[in-house]
Amino acid sequence: MRVEGAIRFIILSEIVFPIVLLIFGIYHGVMQVLYRAGFIKAESFLGIDYYQGLTLHGVINVIVFTTIFIVGFSNALVMYALKKPLREKVQWIAWAMMIGGTLMAAWAMFTGRATVLYTFYPPLIAHWTFYLGAVLLVLGSLVPFFFDWIPNAIAWKRENPDQKIPLAVFGTFVNFILWTIMIVPVAVEILFQLLPLSLGLVDEINPLLARTLFWFFGHPVVYFWLLPAYVALYTILPKIVSEKGKLYSDPAARLAFVLFLIFSLPVGLHHQFTDPGITNTWKLIHALFTFGVALPSMITAFTVAASLEYSVKVEHPELKDSKFYWWAFLPYFKMEGLKWLFPFFFSGLILFFIGGITGIINASYNVNLVVHNTAYVPGHFHTTVGGLVLMVFFGMALYMIAKLKGTDVKFKGLAMISPYLWLAGQMIFSNAMMIGGLLEGWPRRTNSGLTYLNPDSPFYRPDWEGYALFSVIGGVIMGIAFLIYLVPFFATLLAPSTKESTIEFPFAEAYHDEPAPLLNNLRTWTVAAIVLAVLSYIPPLYDAAVRGVFFKSPAYIEKFPVPLKQLQQSKKEEPSGQEVVRR
The footprint of ligand HEM (CB under 6 A) covers 26, 29-30, 32-33, 36, 54, 57-58, 61-62, 117-118, 378, 382, 385-386, 390, 444-446, 475, 478-479, 482
Q: Which stretch binds Cu ion (CB under 5 A): 133-141, 218-226, 302-310, 474-482?
A: 218-226
- Measured from the CB of residue 270, what is the shortest distance to Cu ion in angstroms? 5
Catalytic residue among 445, 461, 490, 542: 445
Our answer to whether residue 582 is catalytic in this structure is no
Q: Is the peptide bond before 443 cis (omega within 30 degrees of 0)?
A: no
Q: What angle do CA 445, 450, 455 make, to 5 degrees?
A: 130
DSSP alpha helix (H) spans, 250-341: 250-263, 280-315
Q: Which of 53, 123, 245, 395 binds other proteins (CB under 8 A)?
A: 123
Footprint (CB under 5 A) of Cu ion, residues 437-466: none
Q: Which does 292 bind (CB under 5 to 8 A by kind): Cu ion, other proteins, ligand HEM, none?
A: other proteins
Q: Which of 129, 198, 418, 448 binds other proteins (CB under 8 A)?
A: 448
Measuring CA to CA, which residue among 411, 384, 406, 409 is closest to residue 397?
409
- Measured from the CB of residue 123, what is the shortest distance to other proteins in angstroms? 5
**What sign does the CA torsion over 408, 413, 418, 419 have?**
positive
Our answer to whether residue 286 is catalytic in this structure is no
Q: For residue 187, state whether it binds other proteins (rule: CB under 8 A).
A: no
Angstrom distance (rounded) from CA 329 to CA 319: 9
CB of 88 or CB of 463, closer to other proteins: 463
Q: For residue 207, state whether it binds other proteins (rule: CB under 8 A).
A: yes
Measuring CA to CA, which residue among 412, 460, 78, 427 is closest to residue 231?
78
Q: Which does 219 bind (CB under 5 to 8 A by kind): ligand HEM, other proteins, Cu ion, none?
A: Cu ion
45 residue type, one letter: F
Q: Which does 295 bind (CB under 5 to 8 A by kind): ligand HEM, other proteins, Cu ion, none?
A: other proteins
551's CB contacts (< 8 A; 6+ apart) are: none
Q: Which does 379 bind (CB under 5 to 8 A by kind): ligand HEM, Cu ion, other proteins, none?
A: none
Helix, coil or strand: residue 48: strand
- Measured from the CB of residue 30, what is the shortest distance to ligand HEM in angstroms? 5
Our answer to whether residue 223 is catalytic in this structure is yes
355's CB contacts (< 8 A; 6+ apart) are: 380, 381, 383, 384, 387, 388
Q: Which does 547 bind (CB under 5 to 8 A by kind): other proteins, ligand HEM, Cu ion, none?
A: other proteins
Q: Which stretch binds other proteins (CB under 8 A): 90-98, 156-164, 425-433, 559-567?
A: 559-567
Q: Which does 331 bind (CB under 5 to 8 A by kind): other proteins, ligand HEM, Cu ion, none?
A: none
Q: How many Cα neighbours within 13 Å face the side chain of 172?
A: 28
Q: Which does 378 bind (CB under 5 to 8 A by kind): Cu ion, ligand HEM, other proteins, none?
A: ligand HEM
CB atoms under 10 Å from CB of 372, counted, come to: 17
DSSP alpha helix (H) spans, 219-276: 220-235, 237-241, 250-263
Question: Could you tell me the end-to-end alpha-carbon distance of the chain, in angstroms, rounded to an integer?
Answer: 51
Q: For residue 219, state whether it binds Cu ion (rule: CB under 5 A).
A: yes
Measuring CA to CA, which residue among 262, 268, 106, 99 is closest to residue 189?
268
Our answer to whether residue 380 is catalytic in this structure is yes
Q: For residue 327, state whether it binds other proteins (rule: CB under 8 A).
A: no
Angstrom distance (rounded) from CA 45 to CA 483: 21
Measuring CA to CA, which residue among 208, 123, 233, 196 is closest to residue 560?
123
CB of 95 or CB of 429, closer to ligand HEM: 429
Catalytic residue among 36, 219, 270, 271: 219
Footprint (CB under 8 A) of other proteins, residues 243-272: 249, 251-252, 272
Q: Which stretch binds other proteins (CB under 8 A): 20-28, 118-126, 144-152, 219-227?
A: 118-126
Q: What angle do CA 240, 145, 348 make, to 5 degrees?
A: 30
CB of 335 or CB of 439, closer to other proteins: 439
Our answer to whether residue 523 is catalytic in this structure is no
Contacts from 358-364 at CB under 8 Å and sequence distance 24+? 358/383, 358/434, 359/294, 359/384, 360/291, 360/294, 362/270, 363/267, 363/270, 363/287, 363/290, 363/291, 363/294, 364/287
Burial grade of 150 (CB within 10 A; 0-12, 13-18, 19 or more): middle
Our answer to whether residue 316 is catalytic in this structure is no
Angstrom distance (rounded) from CA 272 to CA 208: 10
Q: Which stretch binds other proteins (CB under 8 A): 134-142, 278-286, 338-346, 466-474?
A: 278-286
Main-chain phi, psi angles of 512, to 5 degrees: -100, 125
Annotate 525-546 with three-state secondary structure.
HHHHHHHHHHHHHHHHHHHHHH
Angstrom distance (rounded) from CA 436 to CA 447: 15
Measured CA to CA in angstroms, residue 70 lies from 172, 203, 428 at distances of 9, 37, 28
CB of 219 or CB of 410, closer to Cu ion: 219
Q: For residue 51, state whether it binds other proteins (rule: CB under 8 A).
A: yes
Q: Which of 47, 276, 317, 455 binds other proteins (CB under 8 A)?
A: 276
Angstrom distance (rounded) from CA 165 to CA 171: 10
Q: Which stretch binds other proteins (CB under 8 A): 145-153, 257-265, 297-305, 310-318?
A: 297-305
Catalytic residue among 35, 130, 131, 223: 223
Q: Which stretch binds other proteins (CB under 8 A): 234-242, 400-408, 437-445, 473-481?
A: 437-445
DSSP 460: -
CB of 64 or CB of 338, closer to ligand HEM: 64
Q: Which does 556 bind (CB under 5 to 8 A by kind): other proteins, ligand HEM, Cu ion, none?
A: other proteins
Q: For residue 518, state whether it binds other proteins (rule: CB under 8 A).
A: no
Q: For residue 286, state whether it binds Cu ion (rule: CB under 5 A).
A: no
- Measured from the CB of residue 95, what is the shortest distance to Cu ion in angstroms? 30
Q: Which stretch binds Cu ion (CB under 5 A): 215-223, 455-463, 522-530, 564-572?
A: 215-223
Footprint (CB under 8 A) of other proteins, residues 83-112: none
What residue ranges bind Cu ion (CB under 5 A)? 219
Catalytic residues: 219, 223, 380-382, 444-445
